[in-house]
Structure 1
């Protein structure tokens, strides 16, 4: 999520302060971007890489050297050299944001023992105008900064350093100079050969353990995994180019599991390629999945220009490893949607302030719709599992009180409050926020079904492909209006106007009945079941604790129940497990008034609760679908025919 991701190499060549040798490098890089070298013999490729290395060694570039002698205590030693600096105050910073994230992250808190010298080794003074910046004076045209970095969280945002790996997110690791944003960056890792570490990254290999980024933005977007990882790969042809898709897998599993996993990743990649018609232009000929599946990492996925970070505690031997593949699917889809089909609100990416975007319902949400859909089409999950997941998301989104306050654009702009952001005060998330991931995925479902049922041979796939052609391939940032006008172009004014007026600029709930019926599914009502509107969890004492703020206007809300209350009984019936609680509720009918006994801060209280109809619904297949509906379903989910599930015939009319 950077400037370089959407700027052509021709544009870079015209930056007036670049020297002739940098221009030569960019010309070579442009050839690389067109993948001419992919079909060349190895000797020619080697010659080009050596030429790049020789050119850059003679160039003005910022350089970093990183060492990990004290990895056991989660420390790295970093030396940053900034040459050819103009006279006056020179500032370096730690970023407060990270490409792919939208909230603030105070990376400077893990930097200490900072020392600054000039090119001759003379110590320089610096001041701290804020917590993230070092202002340096008295230099001789070169500034060298050394510091210690502490890192002990492995995910897509932070860094973790120990004797198993150095998992580095660049903004969390390296100081940078804002005024040198366009300058190339070279980084050398003093690798732990004693730990059999290898290096995986999307950075350009210069030889040995040195790597290059053409500018700061590409550098900040290039995570690095140093570990004793396993490498797997496959090649994919796209147009006249061939790309290598790599997996750098750091896990405790077997070689056979790695083989199976890369085969499944290949299925995902090929299925997504079908949607857009071709792969993105991976500028240096390859795309890298940096996967850490270890007990001591934190679950996450983070997209980048030509790579992605995947972290999970779920081992590949686990029966739920398909969840890891869901992250693979989501992040690789971002190689098109967000990385290249990119909202203008995220450009240029700001390393000092939160990045605000009203398009995340599309960038993250439509991607979330496709992550499971692709797994289904690839045969990795069943249509039943896909529909079950849709059902859960449907009820989470469309039954949220938050829709009364925010439309999807406004919900997207709340990302800095929720996107891995931290705070210590409570937030009324239950009633005021719906994840733009989930919200957008339901909007994508609604649009896809509407296109497939209202217009012959129209699909969300082809709408995405049109956006890819108009904005992704041309490196043109889009706005919400562009999304709207492109939908008008593709599906006509009526459908586009209705979709954007009601569901994007407003927060109305779409009617999915027609669309689902066209796929031989329907929404089965649970209105005959009693509903209270609260979330319970049983603690170690088998007591039912309300774990979240109660949904606004639900029976429990109206009765005055709230988070932290402990339910003791409904009427004269008690319960000590979730199953017993659900059985008690199942024995009651909507509209009935019941006395609820509960504890609040140790004091026993009672409240009269009028039970309501359960607002949740289930997406259920018809028992006697038409051939046309089955054909529609098969095209949508890439299946031969839908499985029939027995449900009461009269409920099929709902």
Structure 2
């Protein structure tokens, strides 16, 4: 019999590659108590110590979360089952010595938070964020990975993930980065899907929903999802080419979940306590729009600072005002374009975010880049010491959103628009998967809108903290920005409790009447102008009885010591945003046309 040397070589290479695959199993026998049992094998190792780690951060999150705190019952053996030496050099690492070229580990994981960062295991589902679930070995990051999900068949569980299926309930990832970026929902979920033509290629869009509602509710909701997908495709002119031809929404709208949304390369996690019949039909679709937009902006149009993602450290980027903020601008914008909310609802919905950014004293401390740098301290991070973020921080989501709005309306005054700028960034960087820098965003805006326009936008609003002329910009599309200057403003959030005293709820705003008068978080207000506060009284309604510029005497206690001060009420700094016709004005045909071109609605 003839031996084909090339065939033997191919078989040998295949066997070698297969033996260099890291394999995991996970089972859920004790799901009722939120536990999973996990094993992993790492074959063909060099001699020496093998360092196995639990992640400290997760794709799409920028703060540290220390997932090792939920791991226990850790064991390690060699290929023959011999127990190996284990040393813990730090809280998130296990150093294993004495192996024979292969290490097998096992451990128990406790998991009971269903959101985009953590994992949750109970008898309703196994909701797995991979860095919160599986240990890894840093220097083996290029190896292929296989994971066998041993589902609870008695609970009718099935697996949904962006990882391709190998066989049965075994799924695979080409490397560690893809594996860690592949959240997995295991439950008795419902599934809807449709295909989208994308430059001649068919892309499959799947919507997985674990909920307690009806099939009819899922059908209705999925129609909204389809509208969102198509409206966002129109912004960029095409969908991304998903790695395995499919994008999967992994939604859990159940009472035991926590509200969240988290983007991934070919999927997203969507969680909320509200079911579709309990408000979720309306309230959850915005998260769908936000996270799907990330399939372009942050997953592929990606800041260089986030490449490669570091699972062992906090991940910081100065471009989150663009990655998260511009995505936030498009969130409700897309819902309006898709006909899910009305132009009136969209425009009036801008009010809260606008006032938050416009009236924040934080702009004197940080520009949008530096606000983005704060992400490791605010992005679902926790701390026990009080901070002054009420005065020093503006969310990069909100800051970037109002700047995206300003950029869009400014471009439209020059017969340009933000959609086409985003398309250019996509074609230049995202589609080619070239990570961008801050200077790349500036350079692309200069290329699109001209040197003077592009440099002015970045110099004034990104590198500095100036605010655009929103009144003029809104007027250009028949929208009115108006401030109620006759309404008095105290400058502190005060809640009157059942004992008839007003508690200052948070740090008073720098420059506000309460701040200037020396009131601070935790102060207990007992009387205004010598009249004691009473229960069932609204502090806001009490202050509304006075006039702008009027002085009020405030009696309060701090640490039990009686004090008093004088607060000079200023004019309420907040604005309303309304369609011009809703405010009693007449809208010209040109302004109506501008608005329709902007919102893409009739």
Report the TM-score range of the alignment, normalised by the length of the smaller protein.
over 0.9
CA drift of 1:367 comes to: 0.3
The match for 2:368 among 393, 396, 408 is: 408
CA drift of 1:225 comes to: 0.7
User: Counterpart in 2 of 1:537?
Assistant: 495
User: Counterpart in 2 of 1:242?
Assistant: 202
User: Counterpart in 1 of 2:442?
Assistant: 484
| Whole-Å separation in 1 of the counterparts to 2:55 and 2:47 | 24
| Whole-Å separation in 1 of the counterparts to 2:125 and 2:16 | 29
**CA deviation digits over 1:151-207, x for unaligned, max 9?**
111100001111111111000000101010000000001110001101110011011
CA drift of 1:599 comes to: 3.6
Q: Is the 8 Å Cα contact of residues 258 and 272 (structure 2) preserved in structure 1? A: yes
User: Counterpart in 1 of 2:467?
Assistant: 509
The match for 2:119 among 159, 181, 185 is: 159
| Whole-Å separation in 1 of the counterparts to 2:345 and 2:528 | 34
The match for 1:108 among 36, 48, 68 is: 68
User: Counterpart in 1 of 2:588?
Assistant: 626
| Whole-Å separation in 2 of the counterparts to 1:22 and 1:540 | 77
| Corresponding position: 1:637 with 2:595 | no
Instruction: Give the alignment of 1:412-431 within 5 angstroms.
Output: 412-431=372-391
| Whole-Å separation in 2 of the counterparts to 1:20 and 1:158 | 41
CA drift of 1:573 comes to: 5.5
Q: 1:191 to 1:319 in 2, by over 3 A?
A: closer
CA drift of 1:539 comes to: 3.5
CA drift of 1:322 comes to: 2.2
The match for 1:354 among 285, 298, 314 is: 314
Stretches of structure 2 that go unaligned for 5 or more consecutive residues are 1-8
| Whole-Å separation in 2 of the counterparts to 1:529 and 1:20 | 80
| Whole-Å separation in 1 of the counterparts to 2:249 and 2:11 | 32
CA drift of 1:318 comes to: 2.4
Instruction: Give the alignment of 1:85-96 within 5 angstroms.
Output: 85-96=45-56
| Whole-Å separation in 2 of the counterparts to 1:398 and 1:521 | 17
Q: 1:424 to 1:470 in 2, by over 3 A?
A: same
| Corresponding position: 1:598 with 2:560 | no
The match for 2:328 among 368, 381, 384 is: 368
Q: Is the 8 Å Cα contact of residues 573 and 584 (structure 1) preserved in structure 2? A: no
User: Counterpart in 2 of 1:37?
Assistant: none
Q: Is the 8 Å Cα contact of residues 75 and 107 (structure 2) preserved in structure 1? A: yes
Instruction: Give the alignment of 1:428-507 within 5 angstroms.
Output: 428-453=388-413, 455-456=414-415, 458-507=416-465
| Whole-Å separation in 2 of the counterparts to 1:548 and 1:412 | 23
User: Counterpart in 2 of 1:585?
Assistant: 543
Q: 1:504 to 1:320 in 2, by over 3 A?
A: same
The match for 1:209 among 147, 166, 169 is: 169
User: Counterpart in 1 of 2:506?
Assistant: 548
User: Counterpart in 2 of 1:307?
Assistant: 267
| Corresponding position: 1:324 with 2:274 | no
CA drift of 1:321 comes to: 3.4
The SS at the match of 1:353 is coil
User: Counterpart in 1 of 2:570?
Assistant: 612
Superposition RMSD in Å: 1.8
Shifted more, 121-130 versus 565-574: the winner is: 565-574
| Whole-Å separation in 2 of the counterparts to 1:237 and 1:575 | 64
Q: Is the 8 Å Cα contact of residues 75 and 161 (structure 1) preserved in structure 2? A: yes
TM-score normalised by L of structure 2: 0.95
| Whole-Å separation in 2 of the counterparts to 1:118 and 1:303 | 37
| Whole-Å separation in 2 of the counterparts to 1:232 and 1:575 | 56
User: Counterpart in 1 of 2:256?
Assistant: 296
Stretches of structure 1 that go unaligned for 5 or more consecutive residues are 1-18, 25-54, 641-654
**CA deviation digits over 1:50-88, x for unaligned, max 9?**
xxxxx8994520000111111111110001000011111
Q: 1:319 to 1:110 in 2, by over 3 A?
A: closer
